[in-house]
Structures are given as C-alpha cells and as structure tokens.
Structure 1
Amino acid sequence: MITYPTLRQNATIGVTAPSSGVQKEIQFILTEAVAKMNKEGFAVVIGETPWKQLKAKSSPAMERATELNAMMADKNIDIIIPPWGGELLIELLEHLDFANYSAKWLLGYSDTSLLLLAVTLATGIATAHGTNLVDLRGEFWDDTTAAWLQALRTKTGKSIVQQSSPFYQKEWNFEEPSPCVFHLTEPTSWKTVSGKSVHMEGRLLGGCIDIIRHLAGTPFGDIHGFRKKHIPGERIVWYFENCELRTTDLKRSLVQLKLAGWFDHCSGLMFGRSAANAPVEDYEIEDVYRDLAEELDVPIIYDIDCGHVPPQMTFINGAYGEIAVSDGKGTVTQYFKP
C-alpha cells in the first residue's frame, strides 16, 4: 500500500538543504523563491543549511541529516522543498530516521531524487519528482511547472492528468532572467524507440540515474522488498533523467540496474531530455534506448519533460501511471491508488 500526503491550503513549506545550499552571492534567488511562496499563500520555515555551502555540500552530513529528520518529524510542516539538488546527498542515507517520518510531501529533482526514491522504497510514502524551489521564484509559472501544485493537492483515490509541454528550454541563460524563470523556445517532441504510438502503465518510480543508480545493492535500493510489501503483484514504469553521463556510462548504469533486478516486472521506461548523452565513438543515445528496449522487451519513451532540461512534469513515486505517446505528444495520468 502507498501512502499519499495531503497538501492543504496555506500549507507550511520546510526548506532544508540535504545536498547543496545556496552560495552567498546568489542567495537572492532563494529569497525571491520564498517571497513567491508567501505570495501564493504558503508559510515558509527555512533551516540553517540552505544558507551554507562549503566543499560541495551545505554542511556536514550529520548536520544536514539532523535538520531534515527534524522537519520530516515536525507535524506543523506539510511539505519539504530543498532549494535545489547538488552532489553529496548520499552521505545522509545512513543517518535518516525513516521510522519517525510523518507523511508529508518531498518535492525536487537532481540529487534530491536520491532522497525521494529512498523514502518511498523504505516507507511506502509517495514522493514528488518535480521542480526545485528556486525555479518557482518567477512572476508566473509555465503550465507544466505549475502542475506541481495540482499534483500535490490530489487526494488519495483521485487522479491527475498532465500533458507534454509545448516548448522546452534549450539552455540556461542566467544573464537574462525571464518572468517565468525558464526560456521555453524549442518545440517539445516525445519520442518512442518503435517510432509508433506507445501506451504503458504501472507504478511510477525513478529519478536522476546519475544518482539513484548508487542505491542498487544497498539496503536503500531494495526494489524487491518494496514491491512485496507495498505494491504486490504490480508492474513498474521507470522514469529516468541523465544529468552528466555519456552514452556508455549510461548504458553501464542501466545494465547494472537490470542485473540488480530493478527492471524485473517492468512494463516500460521513460527518459527525460538531456544535455548530456554525449556519444562515445559512434554509440549514440538512440542506440542505448534501442538496445535496452530489445534486452528488456518493453517499450521505451524518451525526450520527456523530466530533469535538467526544463520544464518538467511532476512524477509521483508510488502512484499508478498510465502514459500514452502519439505523434510527439504525451499524456501522463497518475492515479493516487493506495
């Protein structure tokens, strides 16, 4: 059984930095994001870690874990949204107090996706892979990004439908900020390995593959135990995004996850757009997807709205998803099925 948190009106957001904090010279983006959340009717509680950054992390592992554990146990905090991801969230895993976590939303992506997946696998509490806090600082949100709020207000037993974005951002341009943060200029097209329309369904799990691959073989990546305890007999649809891996490293990672049993009882895979995916010799990203589709005998969708090439949908780890792709357009329906 999956437990879905409830995001009430005028909820309280807890802001902690389990990975990277915000450097002093750009802390204005965090201040702007908090102001935007206040304007949207949220109360915001900020810990100490978001204001720190030293040696590729906001603070030592125990300090980050202590602050996160306290916010997760605090029943006055309804949702936790880190400023953004980072590099070394994995240092927290052995210090996380899962047994005392109350059911509340965790939202984010990149390095944060390690925390999201670990929490869902360990507790059966749904988590939300979507926008970072600093990307919500704009005057307005594009429709794809804005769906985070509707998704997290969906009640158990209900569903949310999201459509693929009309346009995506080709590259980050911090020199020319826009009212909605992202510069959405390139036409979006969801693709399939088969080149045909695709439909897949199953429980959604995933995240940034650079990061979550490191859960395999640890107590925090027990996919078999999760399936047996929380979704017995059900199949999984995996969504991934690639931040920095070349094609061969990505393929090695996927083979490792296959050998670790992560793709047992899998009904399909989805991959986000990526500015990485650099070919090695003539091994292109399409070759990776094609090889994987043949090896697993499942459909594969790619260039979806997920990850470091925004905007991105809000994917709920643990929700039951139905995904349909046709003529470059995608529809994702997520059922908050216990």
Structure 2
Amino acid sequence: MEILPLLDFNAISKARPKWLVGFSDISTFACALTTRCGWATLHAANLMQIHPDDSDVYLANIFSAMSLEEKQQLHQVASPYYQQKPIDYKADPQAQFDYTAPSQWRCINYKDKRQIEVSGRLIGGCLDTLGLLLPSNYYALHEFKKQYAPEGLILYLENAELSPMALARCLLSLKLNDVFTDVNAVVFGRSPAINNDCYFDEYQAIELAFKGNLFPVIVDADIGHVAPNLALINGAVATITADLCEGMASNIIVKTDLK
C-alpha cells in the first residue's frame, strides 16, 4: 500500500507493458496496474515457490499464461488436493509442493442449481489490502468496467489474515460502497487465517455479506495463500463452469480468453 502513491500511473500507462506476477502484497499494485493503466497482470504463485524440478501443472500454467497470444485461451481445472501444511522456505529453500488435503470448491448461494456458467473480466487479489482500497480511485471498478469490461467482472478475493468478524465487516463495507454492483460472480480462495471463534466462521461471514445477491459466490477456490494457485490474468475474460451437487462444485473449468 505504501507503493501506490509513489507510482506515476500516467507514465506507466504510456510505457511498454511487462508481466507482473505473484499474489498477496503483489496483488495490491498489480490490480491497480490493470484498472488504472490497462495492463494485464498475473495473479499466480510467487517466484520463490517456483522450483525448477517441480512438475506441478499450476506452476507450468504461469508460463502458459504469459505466452498467450491475443484471442488464445488457457484452460485450467480445479485441483483435487491442496497444500495443507505451510512451507517454510527459509528453513527449506528447495521445498516443493505436496498436495495432500482433499479440495472442494463450493457455491454458497446456488444450492438449488445444477450448474454454474459465468463469464466476465477477471480482477482481484488479496482482500486484506484490496478490501481497504477497492472503494478508492486506485482501483475504481465502475470506471474500469465502463472502459474495459462491458461484459461485467469476475471479482476474485483471498483472505490472508482477517478473522471471520473482520472479514464480515470488510465485505459489508464493500457492499455498502457498491463495489459488487458490476460483478457477475465473486470467487474466494481458501484462507489460512486462524478462526478462534467457534460461533462464527469465514463461511458464515461470506454468507452474511452476500445474502440476497443473485450472482454466484464461490468459496475454497485455488487462489492465494493456500496452494495451488490458478494463473488468473487480471483484465482477461474468464468463463467458470462447474457442476453442482448440494452446493459442492465438481468438473470445474476456468477458461481464460486473452482478448
């Protein structure tokens, strides 16, 4: 957040675009480069997580995404497992991913439907910082939609450290500031945040904030601090399709169209 006021967005918008790749704090100004300058930026694993011997398809998709030509597509599927134990790269710089915990995307408000298919321009990142700045002119989603995304937005968010109550306050604040007006869907990544409240969890916080909304709200997606990470191109058109069974999503495909 300290970097944002130091950036000359007018000068950047006239420069030759370069790929900015990563998640967490990286997304704080990657998202701004997309909304303010029209750059495509890539929300994916960070550099220190990319081991040259790791055959993980999600890491390979980073380079596939950066290699896309205009009008080409990248197809990704949801991971059946995720990295449950955090990796200490300081203790083991050569560590590689080991997905062992079963993964299951869910749709919290489409429990009576059998299938989801939703499209829109991707934009998003780490809620811990974006949640404080989305109503500001650093992101200005309404203007971004008018200029770049007449088809609407798919807003993806991931919670790094917010407690369930703080998460609820953050999302309700965004709702009251009309941040969700232009979105076709909201997708939440799995959260590593510790939940010490046995009466109120992050799922209840999300359900509280989006009660009554007609667009799909997906949770536990492969986004953010809990690996693996989909390669999500901010500014690209994406289509998410999934079969549903009592809110549980399967056969999930994320198709990104670089246009």
Tell me the TM-score normalized by structure 1: 0.68
Q: Secondary structure, in 3 states, of the residue corresponding to 1:307?
A: coil
Q: Secondary structure, in 3 states, of the residue corresponding to 1:149?
A: helix
1:224 aligned to which of 104, 119, 142: 142
1:270 aligns with 2:181: no
User: What residue ranges of structure 2 are gaps of 5+ in the alignment?
Assistant: 244-248
1:187 aligns with 2:102: yes
Equivalent residue, structure 2, for 1:335 = 257
Larger of the two Rg values belongs to structure: 1
1:297 aligns with 2:217: no
Q: Report the AA paired with residue 313 of structure 1.
A: L
**1:98, 1:303 → 2: CA distance?**
33
- Deviant stretches of 4+, over 6 Å: none
Matches within 5 A, 1:1-338: 90-101=1-12, 102-174=16-88, 177=92, 181-193=96-108, 194-195=110-111, 196-231=114-149, 233-276=150-193, 278=195, 280=197, 282-326=199-243, 327-337=249-259
Tell me the TM-score normalized by structure 2: 0.88
Residues 329 and 272 (structure 1), Cα distance of their counterparts in 2 relative to 1, 3 Å cut: farther
User: What residue ranges of structure 1 are gaps of 5+ in the alignment?
Assistant: 1-89
**1:305, 1:192 → 2: CA distance?**
14
Residues 184 and 281 (structure 1), Cα distance of their counterparts in 2 relative to 1, 3 Å cut: closer
**1:309, 1:107 → 2: CA distance?**
17
Q: Secondary structure, in 3 states, of the residue corresponding to 2:3?
A: helix
Residues 331 and 178 (structure 1), Cα distance of their counterparts in 2 relative to 1, 3 Å cut: farther
Whether the 8 Å contact between 2:43 and 2:234 is mirrored in structure 1 is yes
Q: Secondary structure, in 3 states, of the residue corresponding to 1:157?
A: coil
Q: Secondary structure, in 3 states, of the residue corresponding to 1:220?
A: coil
Cα offset, 1:221, TM superposition: 2.2
How many residue pairs are counted as aligned between the two chains? 247
**2:87, 2:46 → 1: CA distance?**
17
**1:183, 1:140 → 2: CA distance?**
10
RCO (CA 8 Å, sep 6+): is it higher in 1 or 2? 2
Cα offset, 1:179, TM superposition: 6.4
Q: Report the AA paired with residue 128 of structure 2.
A: D
Whether the 8 Å contact between 1:170 and 1:309 is mirrored in structure 2 is yes
Whether the 8 Å contact between 2:135 and 2:179 is mirrored in structure 1 is no
Cα offset, 1:229, TM superposition: 2.1
Cα offset, 1:292, TM superposition: 3.5
Q: Report the AA paired with residue 185 of structure 2.
A: G
Q: Secondary structure, in 3 states, of the residue corresponding to 1:294?
A: coil
Cα offset, 1:171, TM superposition: 1.5
**1:92, 1:189 → 2: CA distance?**
36
The structure richer in strand per residue is: 2
Q: Report the AA paired with residue 181 of structure 1.
A: Q
Q: Report the AA paired with residue 208 of structure 2.
A: D
Whether the 8 Å contact between 2:142 and 2:182 is mirrored in structure 1 is no
Cα offset, 1:177, TM superposition: 4.7
Whether the 8 Å contact between 1:169 and 1:311 is mirrored in structure 2 is yes
**1:241, 1:98 → 2: CA distance?**
25
Residues 292 and 298 (structure 1), Cα distance of their counterparts in 2 relative to 1, 3 Å cut: farther
Equivalent residue, structure 1, for 2:246 = none
Aligned identity (percent) is: 31
